[in-house]
Amino acid sequence: MRSARVVLVGYLVLVVAGLAYFAALGVLHR
Amino acid sequence: MKRVLRDNGLSLAFGMLFLATLVGQAFAGHADFNDRQLAQGGEQVTLVDFVTSSAFGVDVAENWQSEYLQFFLYIFGTVWLVQRGSPESKNPDEVGLESDRAQRTGRFAGPESPRWAATGDWRTAVFSRSLGLVMGGIFLLSWAVMSVAGWAAHNAEQLGQRQDAVSWLTYVGSADFWNRTLQNWQSELLAIGSMAVFAVFLRQRGSPESKPVGDPHTTTADTG
């Protein structure tokens, strides 16, 4: 299960970083 | 290493395919953006300009929000709604949150149950809803991000056409925002509804999304 936890964290980081990046693009270009 | 790859094949394969298609979207979106710029007499942009633009941001976020909404609705909806005969549904007599015994929470938790399933207090209440909370939370966040990136992209277009920029509040009431939102929602809802009922009568050998091939159409909640 440890490897699944690593994958879970990978997905969460990807989604949160992606959302933060796209929000920043919106805010910076508004 | 080989074991790790096999044990996590589903999440890793889809994660890799996601990254590959996101790169594909960046290239295709860039080409499409420049085509439209050309038609409207605007300036051409580089790939880096495009992937750091709000136009790219809104295109990605609008799809993310609808996918997370789809899974959130499916997770939440299947607690309360059933489809007799579907492997995606539980049995009609199990509608609702079910008993602590059936869910192995509180004093019915086993020695290997997650710790928060056993406490029987607020932690169990939170853990019991954690999947829906996270999927629903990512949906709301993605939708909010889509609104901000869409607002910036919309205003960039307005300015390009020498029209006034609008406020964020005006944007979330605009045709552009709701067209982007609803065109994604409708497809997700169609896919969920058809999956629930197709799986009553159709089979995919070996898939846990399907019933075993020989199961009668009347069997509900069986997977294999």
Three-class DSSP labels, B122-187: HHHHHHCCHHHHHHHHHHHHHHHHHHHHHHHHHHHHHHHCCCCCCCHHHHHCCHHHHHHHHHHHHH
Residue (of B168, B181, B184, B143) closest to A29 by Cα position: B168
Residue B44 near chain A (CB below 8 Å)? no
CB contact under 8 A, A19 and B141: yes
- Region B79-93: what's the mean pLDDT? 94
On the question of pLDDT at B156 being above 90, the answer is yes
Q: Can you give the pLDDT at residue B1? A: 84
3 state SS of B86: coil
On the question of pLDDT at B224 being above 80, the answer is no
Residue B154, burial from CB neighbour count under 10 angstroms (0-12, 13-18, 19+): buried
CB contact under 8 A, B8 and A4: yes
Q: Can you give the pLDDT at residue A8? A: 96
Residue B45, burial from CB neighbour count under 10 angstroms (0-12, 13-18, 19+): middle
Pull the structure tokens for residue B23.
């790169």
Is this complex's ipTM strictly greater than 0.85?
yes
Min Cα–Cα distance to chain B from A30, Å: 4
Q: Kindly state the DSSP code that residue B93 receives in the 8-state scheme.
A: G
3 state SS of B50: helix
Confidence of residue A29 (pLDDT cuts 50, 70, 90): confident
Residue (of B90, B97, B102) closest to B132 by Cα position: B97
Confidence of residue B223 (pLDDT cuts 50, 70, 90): confident
- Region B194-207: what's the mean pLDDT? 96
Which residues from A are below 8 Å from B51, CB to CB?
A: none
Q: Can you give the pLDDT at residue B47? A: 98
On the question of pLDDT at B218 being above 80, the answer is yes
Which residues from A are below 8 Å from B8, CB to CB?
A: 3-4, 7
- Give which of B113, B145, B171 to mutate to test A binding, by max A Cβ within 10 Å: B145
CA atoms within 13 A on the CB side of B224: 8
CB pairs under 8 A between A and B: 68
Q: Can you give the pLDDT at residue B40? A: 86
Residue A22 near chain B (CB below 8 Å)? yes
- Region B171-188: what's the mean pLDDT? 98
3 state SS of B193: helix
Contact (CB, 8 A) for B197 and B86: yes
CB contact under 8 A, B54 and A11: no
- Region B158-162: what's the mean pLDDT? 88
CA distance B4 to A12: 19
Q: Can you give the pLDDT at residue B73? A: 96
CB contact under 8 A, A25 and B142: no
3 state SS of B11: helix
Instruction: Choose the weakest-confidence range: B64-68, B173-177, B219-223.
Output: B219-223
Residue A30 near chain B (CB below 8 Å)? yes
CB contact under 8 A, A25 and B52: yes
Q: How many C-beta atoms surround the C-beta of residue B92 within 10 A?
A: 11
Which residues from B are below 8 Å from A1, CB to CB?
A: none
pLDDT tens digits along B7-29: 999 999 999 999 999 999 999 99
CA distance B133 to B112: 23
Q: Can you give the pLDDT at residue B176? A: 97
Residue B135 near chain A (CB below 8 Å)? no
User: Mean pLDDT score of chain B, rounded to an integer?
Assistant: 95
- Kindly report the pTM of this predicted structure: 0.93
Answer positive or negative: Cα dihedral of B90, B91, B92, B98.
Answer: negative
Q: How far is CA B133 from CA B52, B57, B76, B102, B140, in A?
A: 30, 24, 10, 21, 10
Min Cα–Cα distance to chain B from A20, Å: 8
Confidence of residue A30 (pLDDT cuts 50, 70, 90): confident
